[in-house]
Copies of this chain bind each other. A is one copy, B any other.
Amino acid sequence: MPQPPLPPSQPTAGRHTRLERAEGDLQHCLLCDRSRGGLCNGVDRDGLEALAHSSRRLVLPPGSTMVEEGQTAEAFFNITRGTVKLFKSLPDGRRQITGFADPGQFLGLSRSGLYAFGAETVDTVHACRFQRPQFEALLNDQPDLKRNLLAAVTDKLAEAQEQMLLLGRKTAREKVASFLLGRAQAEQTMRGDTPPDPMPVASVPMTRVDIADYLGLTIETVSRTISALRREKLIASTENHGIRLLSPDALRQIATGQGAG
């Protein structure tokens, strides 16, 4: 458990060094691109036009700040490529990453009018940005959009509850195993099609600092734990900052607290 006077976890600076993930084509925005259906879709022809006019495509380098905690909430985003980290911080710099937003995810809802969290790109991110007033107006016009958004937020809430269980009650080993499984799931969801589950690979574009801040651990503990899993041949590193899950079942056991060892 962390001690009060922690050195601030620095925001990840330029990791331009990291290879770009060799994903397929640029993904399209789930909201304003008419060639796709998707989670948040539910927009009729007129709405589509409105969205197309009020939206703007963005390409952001790694380490870009997308929203700042406490800022007035002016925009709503749909991620189309890359990964964004969402986080909350304490005044002394301690930080908790509350989630990673992968392609297809939205980001930027707020009830108070101020963002309750910060968001920063992990790698190069493509996103579609909507101005808040226009987006909210649209929300009122488009009942299906509203329903899909409600469903999406409900999902996020369930994820958050799962993460609370992890943060409050899991050991370091269980946390790391859970994280890897989640990232493998994310990888698979991103590709969507492709074969089901031969030997999954976790997409890990983030640094150890980010992983530690996500799991409520230190980078040393994360590193040691990953090393241990590698030593035990449960995982193996790939090129491209991926981690191959050599024994997903064993990892699942560990992640749910039933792990041997």
Contacts and interface: CB of A to CB of B under 8 A. Distances in A.
Interface of A: 1-4, 86, 88-92, 94-96, 98, 109-112, 116-117, 139-140, 143, 146-147, 149-151, 153-158, 160-165, 167-172, 174, 213, 215-216, 256-259
Given A146-B143, A161-B117, A4 B174 contact: yes
A250 to B, nearest CB: 15
Contacts of A256: 90-91
Contacts of A172: 1
Give the oligomeric copy count. 2
19 contacts: A2-B168, A2-B169, A3-B171, A88-B162, A90-B165, A90-B169, A90-B257, A91-B256, A91-B257, A92-B257, A94-B170, A96-B165, A117-B161, A139-B147, A143-B143, A146-B146, A153-B153, A160-B161, A163-B164
Nearest to A172: B1
Nearest to A261: B4
A154 B136 CA distance: 14
